[in-house]
A and B are shown apart, each in its own frame.
Chain A
Amino acid sequence: MGFNFRGLAFKQSMMILAAITVVFGLIFGIMSYKTQDMLDRMTLENGEETSRANVNYIDKLFNAGKLVGDDVASTLGKRKMTKAELDTFLLQSLTNARNLIPQIVAVVLAYEPGMGPETPTDGEFMRLARFSENEIKLITGANYQDKEWYYSTRDGRTSRWQEPFIGEFVPEPIAVYTVPIFQKNKEDENILAGVLAIDMSIDFLKETISEIPVSNSGYAIITSAKNEVVAYPKNIAQGKRNRDVVVKEKRGNSQIDFDRRTRDSSGLFLGTVAGGEESAIYYTTIKSNNWTFMVVWPIEKYLKDQSAMRKLFFALAIGGYGIILVIILLISFRVAKPLKELAVAARKLGRGNFNVTIPQITGRDEISEFAGAFSNMLTELKDHIEKQKDMKRIERELDLARNIQLSMLPGSEHDENSDDDRHELAPFLLPAKEVGGDFYDFFKIDNDHLCVVIGDVSGKGVAAALFMMVARIILRTTTKNLKSIVDAFNRTNFALAKRNKLNMFVTVWAGIIDLRSGHIDFASAGHNPPAVRHKDGTVEFIKSKPGLVMAAMEETVYKPQTCSLLPGDTLFLYTDGVTEATSCQDQLFGDNRLINTLINGGALSPAETCSLVKKEIDNFVQEAPQFDDITMLAVKYSGSDEPVWERYEKTINVNNNDKSGELKSFVEDILTPMDGAKKVQMQDAWDRYEKIVDVIPENQDILTAFVEGILAPMEGSMKSQMQINIAIDEIYSNIVKFSGATQVTLIVEIRKATLTARLTFIDNGKPYDPIKQADPDITLPAEEREVGGLGIFIVKKTMDSVSYRRNGDNNELAITKTL
């Protein structure tokens, strides 16, 4: 199983990693900022801490120096002293000051011109006491008025610390505190008398500075109010002079001289000292003399701290990142692996392998839940397919049932032996998907009576189908036996209603058509009235009163109803599957559409009429599914152009020897009323005689005698008579030998006007059309001759016409002969 870069695991891991990267980045940024800030603050605190004691010490020192200066100046302002007094005072003051502050090395007094003791009006006076080499000396100075320390104090008229310098008399760096001396004149006004200066050695500061311990290779420096370096560790200058030791501040890429006067009293900045390496510099103001105390850390070290901090954090981040990555990958694989296995299983399943093993996944997470569901699905799918198989089997059996049911309906008139010249009939049944309950039926009750039936059992399914078959068979049997449609309806209804626990019912319309006259006796059990298309093209529904549906109530009595067909009329039976065929728009096909379709059909044959109606229904419903069986039955009544024969029947006992007399009187009885005028009238008509005999060889004589008896009065030729006798012999002997019939009816019809006789043999044997038999070869020598088929051949040769038809259960063979 290779790593899938488009897989869920990878995608998920990448997304989580991306999110974590963002979070880490943010944390890193904030942390660096915070670290910087913290380091700055630490540096600041460190600087403050380092400088505090020193600054205090320096402050204390300078404040003391200031106090000394102020005190001495005040004393000088109050009392006018002589030179001697002054020397003593100076000596005393320096001694006192040095007791207090050993760094004070000199007390200097300079008067305004003319203001000094014992001084000419424009004369200078400058006297100083100086400590040098463990003794104090008094020195007289001059030319001080253009010295900065003097004129700045004189002009400013306030005390101040001067910028440190190496003094004229004190050859070492000194800090000088200068104080103006005011004396009262005669007008009691304060006037400036001179300037007192206290010189403090600041060499000690260099010692002090060097000794201040500063962490991280740092050091301290002190600058004056004018940013001149006052004190610094010796190793910094490296031979440079004081004025070269300049503190510069970094502003962007350039460096400018640091000027504390433009800044807060303390703070931190980046810069260099004496052109050295870049450093972080803390500064604070020494308040007493307005100097600046600075703590300097070389930046390299400072940055090292920061980058160490960053490195640590980065390492932590990378480590965490790695761990998270590993965990994510583990989880992803944990998720992806079973999913992949499930996918493989699903693929196999898709190919129809239902025995595929579902990977067992333990645990209670979503994956195992899914695997469980998948496993369930497989089981249920199996069950479902088994059920489907069962369903299929049931469906097949239902189909079978349907087929049996449909195959029991007569398919064509030929099957039912009900076809004849006087009508044409076509059934149509298109079953809906389920086994339905529609049915039709047609059969002949006798030669001249055709029964047509259409029905619809309530409901669908096997029950409806069984019910339909039972109803159809009972109705058929009772109609054939009772020869009355109403009686058959009553009987059938009773039979069905009696054991009808399921409360099913069936609507039926059935009619018996007299094929000779077109008269119909019919009954309706709640069925739609059939339509009739007349020969003139008009169409109407038969006035049919629907009785109660069959099988509803045992005692239902159906009313006999009648109607008539004229030759050329077509009777159209149908079920509600036709009129209630539903379109996609939920519209019904309806009576009017049916009527219009039948009108449009014109003089179509019954089969074509059914097809047309079906086509119209299809056009109407379009894609809508067929819910109900569509059943139709159309009968076209052609009628008979022959006059109705009067029919006489006589059955004689062939065992009775007196048979010829009986026959003779039978025929005479029939013919006697035809005497006279009536007889003449009848000459144009066919006379008809009928003889029914059992099929035994001996009855041939009876038939021959019957025919001879009828034909004799015609006075035809002997030859014709003889040929007719031979024909009777051949036909009857064929029936006896081959048909398996039990009864033969011979109908003899004669037409006196044309001296024509027609003999029709009707037997109930198996279907046999002798005309279709091949003629025997009559040219062969005697040895190769067969006698089979010769008889019919003779008949064909000697008679004027021979015709055959199968009528119902009977063979009808008719021959005609001119006598």
Chain B
Amino acid sequence: MLINKTSENDKLTIALEGRLDTLTAPQLDAEIQGKLDGVKSLVFDFKKLDYISSAGLRILLMAQKIMNKQGSMVVKNASAEIKEIFEVTGFCDILTIE
């Protein structure tokens, strides 16, 4: 999985490419954990993400909890398949999906 981080003032955009699953989730976790200080707007770009597993959902949940305190978080360009995952898991209710 590839992770592209683009930072602009207090806005951080993370674009993911490939699979966010049990094996790759720790990479993303490492990129986010303790690195969101001062970030007020967090954007996940899932345009090139193939799929997401529960391990990935766990990272998203963790990030959402942090951003609820200090700003906002948006998930962009999710495919229909990933949106369906969000649907069945109820994540569509806690994430902002554009």
> A residues near B, CB below 8 A?
697-698, 700-701, 718-719, 722-723, 725-726, 729-730, 732-733, 736, 778-779, 781-783, 785, 787, 790-791, 793-794, 797-798
| Pairwise interchain contact A783-B68, C-beta atoms closer than 8 A | yes
30 inter-chain pairs at a CB distance below 8 angstroms, sorted by A residue, are A697-B23, A700-B22, A719-B81, A722-B51, A723-B51, A725-B19, A725-B21, A726-B21, A726-B52, A726-B53, A729-B21, A729-B55, A732-B22, A733-B53, A736-B22, A778-B91, A781-B94, A782-B65, A783-B68, A785-B61, A787-B57, A787-B61, A790-B58, A791-B53, A791-B54, A793-B88, A794-B54, A794-B85, A794-B88, A797-B88
Contacts of A719 in B (CB 8 A): 80-81
Q: Tell me the complex Cα distance, A794–B50, Å.
A: 16
User: CB of B4 within 8 A of chain A?
Assistant: no
Q: Does B89 contact A (CB under 8 A)?
A: yes
Contacts of B65 in A (CB 8 A): 782-783
B34 at the interface (CB under 8 A from A): no
Complex Cα–Cα for A226 and B20 (A): 177
B54/A697 in contact, CB under 8 A = no
Given contacts A698-B23, A733-B22, contact A790 B89 (CB under 8 A): yes
Instruction: Contacts A730-B22, A791-B53 known; list 15 others, CB within 8 Å.
Output: A700-B22, A722-B50, A722-B81, A725-B19, A725-B21, A726-B51, A733-B55, A778-B93, A779-B93, A782-B64, A782-B94, A785-B94, A787-B58, A793-B54, A793-B88
Contact B53 A729 (CB under 8 A): yes
Question: Who on chain A is nearest to B95 by CB?
Answer: A782
B61 engages A782 (CB within 8 Å) = yes
Inter-chain contacts of B88 with A (CB < 8 A): 793-794, 797-798
B16 → A minimal CB distance (Å):
15
Q: How far is the CA of A718 from the CA of B88 in the complex (A)?
A: 18
Q: A700-B22, A787-B61 are in contact. Are A778 and B54 (CB under 8 A)?
A: no
Q: Which residues of A have CB within 8 Å of B81? A: 718-719, 722-723
The winner among A782, A793, A794 for most chain B CB atoms within 10 A is A782
Give chain B interface residues in 57-82, CB to chain A under 8 Å. 57-58, 61, 64-65, 68, 80-81
Residues of A within 8 A of B57 (CB): 787, 790
Q: Which residues of B contact A697 (CB under 8 A)?
A: 22-23
Please give, as numbers and ranges, the residues of chain A lying within 8 Å of B80 by CB-CB distance: 719
Bound complex: CA A697 to CA B22 (Å): 8
Q: Determine if B53 and A778 form an interchain contact, defined as CB atoms under 8 angstroms apart.
A: no
Cα distance, A697 to B57, chains bound together (Å): 18
Bound: A722/B23 CA distance, A:
15
Nearest Cβ in chain A — how far from B22, in angstroms? Answer: 4
Nearest A residue to B58 via CB reads A787
Set of chain B residues within 8 Å of A781, measured between Cβ atoms: 94
Within the assembled complex, what's the spacing in Å between the Cα atoms of A779 and B53?
19
CB B72 to nearest CB in A, in angstroms, measures 13
Cα of A70 to Cα of B81 in the assembled complex, Å: 195
**Distance between Cα atoms of A310 and B58 in the complex (Å):** 135
A779, B87: Cα distance in complex, Å: 11
A723–B89 Cα gap in the complex (Å)? 14
Complexed CA–CA distance, A726 and B19 (Å) = 9
User: Do B53 and A730 have beta carbons less than 8 Å apart?
Assistant: yes
Interface size on B, residues (CB 8 A): 26
Q: Chain B: residues with CB nearer than 8 A to chain A?
A: 19, 21-23, 50-55, 57-58, 61, 64-65, 68, 80-81, 84-85, 88-91, 93-94
Nearest CB in chain A to that of B50: its residue:
A722
**Chain B CB within 10 Å, residue with most, of A730, A733, A785:** A785
How many Å lie between the Cα of A791 and that of B88 in the bound state?
11
Q: Which of A700, A723, A791 has the most CB of B within 10 A?
A: A791
Assembled-state Cα–Cα distance A733/B58 (Å)? 14
Question: How many CB-defined contacts (below 8 Å) exist between A and B?
Answer: 76
Given A722-B51, A785-B94; A729-B64 close (CB under 8 Å): no
A723 neighbours in B (Cβ, 8 Å): 51, 81
A769 to B11, CA, bound (A): 44
Q: Is the CB of B22 within 8 A of A794?
A: no
Q: CA A797 – CA B58 in complex, angstroms?
A: 18
Q: Contact check, A779 vs B90: say whether CB atoms are below 8 A apart.
A: yes
Q: Please judge, given known A-B contacts A725-B51, A779-B93, A781-B94, whether A700 and B23 are in contact too, CB under 8 Å.
A: yes
* B19 nearest CB neighbor, chain A only: A725
**CA A701 – CA B51 in complex, angstroms?**
14
Complex Cα distance, B85 from A790, in Å, reads: 11
List of A residues within 8 angstroms of B68 by Cβ: 782-783
B residues in contact with A730, CB < 8 Å: 22, 53-54
Contacts of B50 on A, CB cut-off 8 Å?
Answer: 722
Q: A717's closest neighbor in chain B, by CB?
A: B81
Give the complex CA separation of A722 and B49 in angstroms. 11
| Complexed CA–CA distance, A791 and B65 (Å) | 20
Chain B: minimal CB distance from A718 (Å): 8
Residues in chain A near residue B55, CB distance under 8 A? 729, 733, 791
User: Complex: how many Å from CA A816 to CA B55?
Assistant: 22
Query: In the complex the two chains form, is B53's CB within 8 Å of A793's CB?
Result: no
Contacts of A779 on B, CB cut-off 8 Å? 90, 93
Report A797 CB to chain B, min CB distance, Å: 4
Give the complex CA separation of A787 and B21 in angstroms.
Answer: 14
Task: Give the Cβ gap from B31 to chain A, nearest Cβ, in Å.
Answer: 18
Taking the nearest CB of chain A, how far is it from the CB of B52, in angstroms? 8
B51 to chain A, nearest CB (A): 4
Which residues of chain B are within 8 angstroms of A787 by Cβ–Cβ distance?
54, 57-58, 61
Could you tell me if B64 and A701 are in contact, using CB atoms closer than 8 angstroms?
no
Task: List, in ascending order, chain A residues with CB within 8 A of B53's CB.
Answer: 726, 729-730, 733, 791, 794
Contact check, B89 vs A778: say whether CB atoms are below 8 A apart.
yes
- Complex contacts, A791 vs chain B, CB 8 Å: 53-55
CA distance A700 to B25 in the complex (A): 14
Q: Cβ of B93: which chain A residues have Cβ within 8 Å of it?
A: 778-779
Query: Which chain B residue has the least Cβ–Cβ distance from A777?
Result: B90
Q: What residues of chain A lie closer than 8 Å to B52, measured between beta carbons? A: 726
Contacts of B89 in A (CB 8 A): 778, 790, 793-794, 797
On chain A, the residues within 8 Å of B85 by CB distance are 726, 794, 798
CA distance A730 to B85 in the complex (A): 13
Q: Which 3 A-B pairs have the closest CB atoms?
A: A778-B90, A791-B54, A733-B22
Q: How far is the CB of B10 from chain A (nearest CB, A)?
A: 21
The CA-CA distance from A702 to B10 in the complex, in Å, is: 40
Residue in B closest to A732 when the chains form the complex, CB atoms: B22
- Shortest CB–CB separation between residue A187 and chain B, in angstroms? 199
B58 to chain A: which residues have CB within 8 Å?
Answer: 787, 790
Measured in the bound complex, the distance between the Cα atoms of B64 and A722 in whole Å is 25
| Complex Cα gap A798–B22 (Å) | 18
- Minimum CB–CB distance from B96 to chain A (whole Å) comes to 11
CB proximity of B78 to chain A, nearest CB, Å: 13
Q: Which residue of B lies closest to A795 (CB)?
A: B54
In the complex, which residue of chain A has the Cβ closest to the Cβ of B53?
A: A729
Q: How far is the CB of B87 from chain A (nearest CB, A)?
A: 9
Shortest A541–chain B CB gap in Å is: 57
Q: Chain B nearest CB: distance from A738 CB in Å?
A: 13
